[in-house]
């Protein structure tokens, strides 16, 4: 007697895909991650082993990592800070990452926190080694889609990415750098000089001039402020 099959799956990956729900990146929003949750030894060992395989990861290992990212805050922080292989980029985006950079947080005592966003640290990591134009294009596309925020830490990562890319690619991130230049609070503002020098060296002088004009406009001369204070006190 011949055996009848309702469905046939030639391998495990096709089997997994067949039972996966139909979802798009727009449907996916990772649950808020509690970064205070510690990483456990078992998770850390698994992450190290999988990341150590570079681009030679299996679909099962990819799903394992995605599960670990949802379960513990330190898993999330560890993965995005240590991973530097582009193999993860499309899987992460398809699962709803790279969409919601954090704004600043005003605490009950009126102090302000500027949260880190590890997801951009991963983009920074791969941008430093991205020789393939298609990977650079994906990084730029993702960064340009990010909503504007009032968190300078987010823009610091973007500045790092801009410094990692060649001139023509780097200058495409100019809209994000202009957003950064207009923030009231900034960290490491001296690094603008690195970006201006990078763009100028890479023959992107016009973009450098546009950014410099914004920087001058939003950073008045300290001598003018001193003169105003002196006049007020007289």
pLDDT tens sequence across 117-153: 999 999 999 999 888 899 999 999 999 999 999 999 9
Whether residue 163 contacts residue 198, with contact meaning beta carbons closer than 8 Å, is answered with yes
Q: Let me know the angle formed at the C-alpha of 6 by 5 and 12, rounded to the nearest 5 degrees.
A: 80
Q: Within a domain: residue 1?
A: no
Number of domains present in the structure of the chain: 1
- In sign, the C-alpha dihedral spanning 121, 122, 128, 133 is negative
Spacing of C-alpha 51 from chain mean position: 18
pLDDT at residue 131, as a whole number: 83
pLDDT at residue 184, as a whole number: 83
Instruction: Decide the pairing of beta strands 112-113 and 105-106.
Output: antiparallel
93 in helix, strand or coil?
A: helix
Q: Within a domain: residue 4?
A: no
Q: Name the percent of the chain lying above pLDDT 90.
A: 56
Give the domain range for residue 16.
12-220
Spatial neighbors of 33 by CB under 8 A, at least 6 apart, are 69, 70, 73, 76
């Amino acid at each position: 007697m011949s055996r009848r099959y309702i469905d046939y799956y030639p391998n495990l990956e096709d089997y997994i895909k067949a039972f996966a729900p139909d979802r798009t990146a727009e449907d996916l929003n990772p649950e808020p991650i509690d970064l205070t949750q510690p990483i456990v030894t078992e998770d850390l060992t698994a992450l190290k082993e999988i990341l150590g395989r570079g681009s030679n990861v299996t679909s099962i290992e990819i799903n394992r990592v995605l599960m670990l990212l949802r379960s513990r805050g330190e898993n999330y922080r560890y993965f995005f800070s240590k991973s530097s292989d582009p193999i993860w980029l499309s899987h992460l985006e398809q699962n709803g990452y790279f969409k919601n950079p954090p704004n600043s947080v005003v605490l009950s005592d009126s102090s302000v926190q500027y949260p880190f966003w590890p997801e951009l640290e991963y983009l920074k990591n791969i941008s430093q080694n991205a020789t393939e134009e298609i990977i650079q294009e994906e990084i730029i596309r993702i960064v340009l889609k990010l909503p504007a925020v009032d968190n300078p830490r987010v823009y610091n990562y973007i500045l790092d990415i801009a410094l990692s890319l060649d001139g023509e690619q780097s200058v495409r991130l100019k809209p994000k750098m202009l957003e950064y230049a207009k923030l009231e609070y900034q960290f490491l503002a001296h690094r603008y000089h690195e970006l201006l020098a990078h763009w100028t060296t890479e023959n992107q002088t016009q973009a450098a001039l546009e950014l410099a004009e914004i920087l001058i406009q939003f950073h008045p001369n300290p001598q003018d402020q001193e003169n105003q204070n002196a006049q007020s006190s007289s």
